[in-house]
Structure 1
């Protein structure tokens, strides 16, 4: 099997046009590629797309005003049954690891309160701050976005015996070589480009599990974390079950899901797919490609329906899925495959390549969060929008009874309310509700600290409560941790991303403080609520 995506004779201009028209995304390292991409390679969800048209006054009310909840209705993914079959088949071949075992072997370390990384600048310090290892903090490839944790997952905030767990999502935002390829729609990088930099592979999305605990050997407190690659199962032309990274269906050939919001609820992890809806993953099907913990041993895996014995290789970062009876995962030990999807029932008409949003029709799933302070528990979903001429929407927000999403057999409607966000200029990066207050993160880019806004519902409108609280630069998704009374978020920027961040760590500030290395952080809800 080939080790990389190289342009092939069969991928003519006509074939490329066909892929672009249908929105198919062929697996990154597919085995025995046929002349046309088969249906089994389509990644769900896939909401119906239409050409965007401006809406001036139609349905638009005002920032904070009522929107149509019917636009948020979601339908089960058309391939849910097939996806279930594929995951079961993959499960019979690859060994599994539970969340607690994964955390026990966490291989990376958080440094709390590292003074050299300060995306807050002149903004008030948070109640708690976690600094990632250097390569994660400055990675050009992996960009942090969504956040959730065990407080969302379980009412008692425990996963078995494990508590104090946070999760965050990152998307693969770098594809060196694509912009220089003669035919960018035909794949990522040439052979030489891939050999020079494995980032040429579009790896999709990874989820990071973080745990604060006591080291059993030393008795000292520690914060450890581990990355897990998200995957999409498919069956190739050799009738082998395999998996690829996540790729959004609206782009031709290998373009990543943004993962701007995630929610862990019970056994399931919900990941926002911006133009389409939700992707669903199961904590009970985390595959372990290195069970003995020694990457050099290339552990034995199971057999697929062909009966052929397979092994795994987590040393090679350039491949994913099954190749010549060897399993690869871009170098990650753990892979969690998608088990289901929810797609918007309304037509998606938001203009592509723009931050503008239409006022009606399918929304964008820019971020999601969980509210356990209501009955029933609800999943909030909102849009990132920047109003422009003809597109006045500041972004809509609505919610669903989250338990209804476990059924996957019938449409799930929003709860009967929806609002346009009160941000006059849009730009919401995350939102979370708790005890009747809606908290909204607005990023101001790398130039200055972000804004954390507070709103309440009154008379069918969202009404501002107090002034904006300054927070981190590049502030992203929001997560309420009930037991500690904290509102968590994370920052997305990195050094060198903009002039304001500097080309090197420490260069963003004359005192040596770096405004643009990523951190996870939590504000006390009681402190936020007490601000003017």
Structure 2
């Protein structure tokens, strides 16, 4: 009896071990399937899926234009003084960027691994402490000769998180004189929105994840759409204060010397979705604005890529083409399986998507996608695709210089688009970059 009981216990033990082993194999297989699924979405997104016109309409991809009344802007100007232009701001530069050799190694680590940046600069830590770098646009976007007047200019957007929840607080733009590559100087302009009919203004409380400076207008992404600023209508702040708006003795702008008041906005009709990254495409006729949503890997849907035409009406220079009701309709729309898109660029039917890193210390991925496939640069002995910056930022392409500008952390950098394409292999189709 004791021997038979021992055999039964041994059989039950063997059965339990077999069951646990089988369960472990099943869990391993499930994990493998999940990992493979995530790899398909994150690491092998495949080609873009074009959305039909009916799908675009159903998705509510129309942008509704809203202009700030001229009387509001005039009242603000009459109180603050005559607006100034970019050249006045550049002449008042009071800060300098440092060249790569003078940047700490911890900050240089934020640069792309492959392809490498050909020009890089870092911001003064004391001047940017507590602020988070965002989007970049240049005078290569503003005008096809790459200049604004006699200057090469870079605009760099920053946001100051507030509170423990890191909610976006005030936003500002560094207006950089990049005419001399060996000496970049800049000063700050706060991004604000007029209120009370132009008797005051509030700060733009939003992460500046995308900017496009086209002709005289600056388009900036915000949580509720796009805000429009006029680069000919920059106001001087008169009080050096950490506050914003009308204060005793004058006007304050978080310590910035200048203020950019919004002159209009675009709101997406589709509800909560909004553009998270934008850039200019000069390879289309007319020139166009491209935009992407930022959808997380666990978002349950794919990111949409959108294209909107700029107006060819001289009276609407720098604004989007709209219909009789002031609606800008997407001329193209795609879905991509690339998640966490932090930067978007389009040029000659190719789309470049900068994907943020999965971990705080990791590197992101730069994908080139078209309707057929997707390809990313490889680096390291393991042929990893994680070669881009970890804090992937917006992308801005200057057709005149052939350079792509972006920033990561406190590093502002540029590299030729041709270098990106060489690292990816030349794309199919016509290309003469």
TM-score greater than 0.5 by the shorter chain: yes
1:166-177, aligned counterparts within 5 Å?
Answer: 166-175=154-163
Mapped to 2, the partners of 1:175 and 1:108 lie a distance apart of 28
1:127-142, aligned counterparts within 5 Å?
Answer: 127-136=118-127, 139-140=129-130, 142=131
Mapped to 2, the partners of 1:407 and 1:523 lie a distance apart of 31
Partner of 1:25: none
Q: Give the drift of 1:470.
A: 1.1
**Pairing partner for 1:411 from 327, 330, 342:** 327
Larger-Rg structure: 2
Conserved? CA contact 2:63–2:329, under 8 Å: yes
Partner of 2:281: 371
Q: Per residue, is there more helix in 1 or in 2? A: 2
Deviations along 1:97-117, one digit per CA (max 9) or x if unpaired, are 210111111111111213523
Question: Cα gap change, 1:443/1:136 in structure 2, threshold over 3 Å: closer, same or farther?
Answer: farther
Partner of 1:313: 239
Conserved? CA contact 2:161–2:169, under 8 Å: no
Partner of 2:305: 397
Mapped to 2, the partners of 1:476 and 1:412 lie a distance apart of 26
1:160-199, aligned counterparts within 5 Å?
Answer: 160-163=149-152, 165-175=153-163
Once superposed, what is the RMSD of the aligned Cα atoms?
2.6
Q: Give the drift of 1:394.
A: 2.7
Conserved? CA contact 1:469–1:528, under 8 Å: no
Conserved? CA contact 1:206–1:227, under 8 Å: yes
Mapped to 1, the partners of 2:47 and 2:171 lie a distance apart of 32
Question: Does 2:210 match 1:244?
Answer: no
Mapped to 2, the partners of 1:446 and 1:93 lie a distance apart of 46
**Pairing partner for 1:335 from 259, 268, 288:** 259
Specify the SS of the correspondent of 2:73: helix
Mapped to 2, the partners of 1:122 and 1:267 lie a distance apart of 31
Partner of 1:88: 74
Mapped to 1, the partners of 2:264 and 2:387 lie a distance apart of 38
TM-score (norm 2): 0.75
Question: Cα gap change, 1:121/1:221 in structure 2, threshold over 3 Å: closer, same or farther?
Answer: closer
Specify the SS of the correspondent of 2:212: strand
Mapped to 2, the partners of 1:122 and 1:488 lie a distance apart of 12
Question: Cα gap change, 1:524/1:81 in structure 2, threshold over 3 Å: closer, same or farther?
Answer: closer
Conserved? CA contact 2:159–2:171, under 8 Å: yes
Deviations along 1:76-132, one digit per CA (max 9) or x if unpaired, are 22xx253x3211111122232210111111111111213523134782431111111
Partner of 2:98: 111
Q: Give the drift of 1:406.
A: 4.8
TM-score (norm 1): 0.62
Q: Give the drift of 1:392.
A: 2.7
Partner of 1:74: 63
Q: Give the drift of 1:523.
A: 2.0
Partner of 2:19: none
Q: Give the drift of 1:473.
A: 2.1
Q: Give the drift of 1:436.
A: 2.7
Mapped to 2, the partners of 1:102 and 1:485 lie a distance apart of 26
Q: Give the drift of 1:136.
A: 4.2
Q: Give the drift of 1:64.
A: 2.6
Q: Give the drift of 1:454.
A: 1.0
Mapped to 1, the partners of 2:310 and 2:245 lie a distance apart of 32
Q: Which runs of 5+ in 1 are unaligned?
A: 1-60, 180-187, 189-201, 215-219, 247-255, 290-311, 349-362, 493-517
Partner of 2:431: none
Partner of 2:421: 529
Q: Give the drift of 1:401.
A: 0.3
Partner of 1:262: 211
Question: Cα gap change, 1:91/1:121 in structure 2, threshold over 3 Å: closer, same or farther?
Answer: closer
Question: Cα gap change, 1:420/1:157 in structure 2, threshold over 3 Å: closer, same or farther?
Answer: same
Q: Give the drift of 1:334.
A: 0.1
**Pairing partner for 1:228 from 175, 189, 201:** 189
Mapped to 2, the partners of 1:118 and 1:321 lie a distance apart of 36
Question: Cα gap change, 1:456/1:122 in structure 2, threshold over 3 Å: closer, same or farther?
Answer: closer
1:511-526, aligned counterparts within 5 Å?
Answer: 518-526=410-418
Q: Which runs of 5+ in 2 are unaligned?
A: 1-44, 313-318, 378-384, 425-433
Mapped to 1, the partners of 2:173 and 2:134 lie a distance apart of 10
Deviations along 1:16-40, one digit per CA (max 9) or x if unpaired, are xxxxxxxxxxxxxxxxxxxxxxxxx
Question: Does 2:396 match 1:479?
Answer: yes
Q: Give the drift of 1:441.
A: 0.7
Conserved? CA contact 1:422–1:464, under 8 Å: no
Partner of 2:365: 451
Mapped to 2, the partners of 1:146 and 1:162 lie a distance apart of 20
Mapped to 2, the partners of 1:85 and 1:394 lie a distance apart of 42
Specify the SS of the correspondent of 2:90: helix
Q: Per residue, is there more strand in 1 or in 2? A: 2
Conserved? CA contact 1:231–1:337, under 8 Å: yes
Conserved? CA contact 2:68–2:263, under 8 Å: no
Q: Give the drift of 1:313.
A: 1.7
Question: Cα gap change, 1:397/1:375 in structure 2, threshold over 3 Å: closer, same or farther?
Answer: same
Conserved? CA contact 2:47–2:371, under 8 Å: no
What is the count of residue pairs matched by the alignment?
354
